[in-house]
Amino acid sequence: MTAPLLSVSNLAVSIRGDEGTASILDRVDLVIPKGRIVGVVGESGCGKSTLIKAILGVLPLRSRIDRGEIVFEGRDLAHLDPAILAREVRGSAIGFIPQDPFLALNPVFRVGAQMLETMRWHAPPHWKGQHRQRLVKLLGAVQVPDPEGALERYPHEFSGGQRQRLLIAAALSCQPRLLIADEPTTALDVTTQQQVLKLLRDLVAELDLSMLFVTHDFGVVAQLCDEVSVIYAGQTVEAAPTRGLIDGAAHPYARMLLACHPDRATDLGGIPGSVPSAFAPPPGCRFHPRCPLAITDCAATRPALEAQSTGHTVACPRYALPLPEAAA
Partner 1 sequence: MLRFLIRRLLLVIPSLIGLMVLTFVLVRVVPADPAATLAGENSTRQQIEEIRAKYGFDRPLYEQFAIYVGQVLSGDLGNSAFSNRPVAGDVLRTLPATIELVFIALLIATLIGIPLGTLAAVRHNGLLDHVVRVTTVGGLAVASFWFAIMLQLLFSMELEWLPLRGRIGVNVGAPPTVTGFFLVDSLLAGNWTQFTSSLRHIAMPAITLAIPALATIARFARAGVLDTLQRDFVQYETAIGYPRHRIIWVYVLRNSVIAAVTQVGLLFGALISSAVAVEAIFDWPGLGSYAVQAILSSDYKAVLAVTLVVGVIYAVVNIVVDLVHGLLDPRVAEQL
Q: Which residues in this chain contact partner 1 in the complex, by CB under 8 A?
A: 56, 58, 86, 90-92, 95-96, 98, 100, 103-109, 114, 117-118, 121-122, 154, 156, 170-171, 174
CA distances from 22 to 40, 47, 134, 234, 257 (A): 21, 11, 44, 11, 25
Query: Nearest approach, Cβ of 41 to partner 1 (angstroms)?
Result: 21
Query: Nearest approach, Cβ of 119 to partner 1 (angstroms)?
Result: 10
Query: Nearest approach, Cβ of 111 to partner 1 (angstroms)?
Result: 11
Let me know: does 173 contact 123? Beta carbons within 8 Å: yes
Q: Alpha-carbon Rg of the chain, whole angstroms? A: 20
Dist CA 255 CA 52 (whole Å): 25
Select from 92, 82, 84 the least CA-distant residue to 125: 92
- Looking at the Cβ atoms of 11 and 315, the one nearer to partner 1 is 11
Select from 146, 201, 132, 215 the least CA-distant residue to 168: 201
- Identify the H or E element spanning 207: helix 190-207
CA distances from 61 to 157, 199, 257 (A): 33, 35, 33
Query: Nearest approach, Cβ of 199 to partner 1 (angstroms)?
Result: 18
- 82: buried, middle or exposed (CB in 10 Å: 19+, 13-18, 0-12)? exposed
- Looking at the Cβ atoms of 52 and 230, the one nearer to partner 1 is 52
- Looking at the Cβ atoms of 8 and 97, the one nearer to partner 1 is 97
Query: Nearest approach, Cβ of 57 to partner 1 (angstroms)?
Result: 9
Phi (first) and psi of residue 309, to 5 degrees: -150, -170
Query: Nearest approach, Cβ of 169 to partner 1 (angstroms)?
Result: 11
- Looking at the Cβ atoms of 108 and 326, the one nearer to partner 1 is 108
- Looking at the Cβ atoms of 42 and 95, the one nearer to partner 1 is 95
- Looking at the Cβ atoms of 105 and 212, the one nearer to partner 1 is 105
